Amino acid sequence: MLLDQIITSKNTSTEKGNEIEENSEKAIRSIIKAISWRVVGTIDTVIISWLLIGDVSIAFTIGSVELVTKMLLYFFHERIWNKIKWGKQ
């Protein structure tokens, strides 16, 4: 169950009725995580920029640039951490 995986921090899958533990993520999972996180982060950036600057078009420009650069940084950060054995069971 997804909620169990979130709470226990374990990724499991079923293979022929047996539960096995996975120690790594596929690249597509990292891509989807990067996109979903950046949507949240970009909304935050646009709102903060708008409040500080007072110009919606500049706020969206800042958010657009930040969306692309931070998504790429997050993806590579995730892939590097996926290779690190420390903290995995």
Where in the chain are the domains?
Answer: 23-89
Share of the chain above pLDDT 70, in %: 74
The gap from C-alpha 48 to its chain's centroid, in whole angstroms, comes to: 21
Going by pLDDT thresholds of 50, 70 and 90, the confidence category of residue 6 is: very low
More confident residue, 35 or 20: 35
Q: What is the model's pLDDT at position 17?
A: 60
Residues 40/51, Cβ–Cβ less than 8 Å? no
- pTM score: 0.57
Judge residue 82's burial from the number of C-beta atoms within 10 Å of its C-beta, 0-12 exposed, 13-18 middle, 19 or more buried: middle
